[in-house]
Structure 1
Amino acid sequence: MAKVTAVNISETKGVVKETIEKGYFQLNHGLEGDAHAGSWHRQVSLLAQESIDKMIKSGAEGLTPGKFAENITTEGIVLYDLPIGTKLKIGETEMEVTQIGKECHKGCAIRELVGDCVMPREGIFAKVLVPGWVKAGDEITVIS
């Protein structure tokens, strides 16, 4: 079963995010209070714990959910294999995959902290189609 392992938030772009108990994902906006939220195609970022584990195995230390600035840390689903347009039910929400990976911006605090960033290769982005709450332990289902 694919599930959420953490919900993470930050008020500033390009920094690690803090894990919160649950987050409210607004329609066509993203995680309420997060710096990346807004009316654009990268409202929500997702990264698998399995991707974080790859970085740990390569020697990076101290990696926990949110260190790659992802809003939702997942487990049990290969996110970067999902085609753009895939619809996911995550907790109370529904989201649509809009982008796979991204370029890191210059001066990325994550790359400086851990020496590499897996987000450009294995992270994905989505927009919120149905608003609602998401918390650790919530199931993730591919709708279409």
Structure 2
Amino acid sequence: MSARVDSVHVSPTHTFSKSTTPQIELVEGVGVRGDAHAGTTVRHRSRVAANPSQPNLRQVHLIHAELLEELGMTGHRVGPGQLGENITTVGIDLLDLPVGARLHIADAVVIVTGLRNPCQQINDFQPGLLKKVLRKDDSGQVHKLAGVMGVVARSGTVRPGEAIAVELPPEPHYALTGV
């Protein structure tokens, strides 16, 4: 299966889940038009409280639909947009991308900046869900599975079904960490 957009989502307010829509408009240097998290500086409330002038490395949130399927097999029914993502993808291993990977979606380009930091709001949404998206392996290493964050490098409209092409950055590649 080739990488593609499964669905797109937006919320003009700081709600946990986002509404599914037929298309979203990505705006270079800003994020998703009409989304509460769009802006050149941080928009996530906890980060605004810490330092409102930091650059917004979380303009676009992407989650792979395969995670939602996996969560379903553990008894958690989670649909597209319900974990707050703007773009739900299919056929791409988002978590294994390096920092700086460029995702070409139609005319738009999103540069991957890091992993989403899962927080208590995920348990507020569904009790026990945080442990499913924030796991420790046998060596004690924590794995963040709740998708990736990115910034918009080129504006464009994104719709379900659009192909996603990955352009890797020059080597050396650096693993994603939380942003």
Query: TM-score scaled by structure 1?
Result: 0.91
How many positions carry a matched residue from both structures? 140
Letter in structure 2 aligned against 1:10: S
Q: What is the alpha-carbon distance in structure 2 between the residues aligned to residue 4 and residue 52 of structure 1?
A: 14
Structure 2 unaligned segments of length 5 or more: list them.
41-55, 135-143, 169-179
Letter in structure 2 aligned against 1:19: T
Q: Which structure shows the higher strand fraction?
A: 1
Deviation at 1:94, TM superposition (A): 0.6
Which of 137, 143, 154 is residue 130 of structure 1 equivalent to? 154
Deviation at 1:59, TM superposition (A): 0.2
Q: Deviations over 1:36-79 (max 9, x none)?
A: 11111110000000011111100012x21101000000000010
Deviation at 1:111, TM superposition (A): 2.5
Aligned-residue CA RMSD (Å): 1.5
Partner of 2:124: 112
Q: What is the alpha-carbon distance in structure 1 between the residues aligned to residue 39 and residue 125 of structure 2?
A: 26
Query: TM-score scaled by structure 2?
Result: 0.74
Q: What is the alpha-carbon distance in structure 2 between the residues aligned to residue 76 and residue 67 of structure 1?
A: 19
Q: What is the alpha-carbon distance in structure 2 between the residues aligned to residue 111 and residue 14 of structure 1?
A: 14
**Does 2:106 align with 1:94?**
no
1:42 alignment partner, SS class: coil
Percent identity over the alignment is 34
Structure 2 contact 32–60 (Cα < 8 Å) conserved: yes
| Ranges of 4+ aligned residues in structure 1 off by more than 6 Å | none
Structure 1 unaligned segments of length 5 or more: list them.
none
Flag the structure with more relative contact order, 1 or 2, with Cα contacts below 8 A and sequence separation at least 6: 1
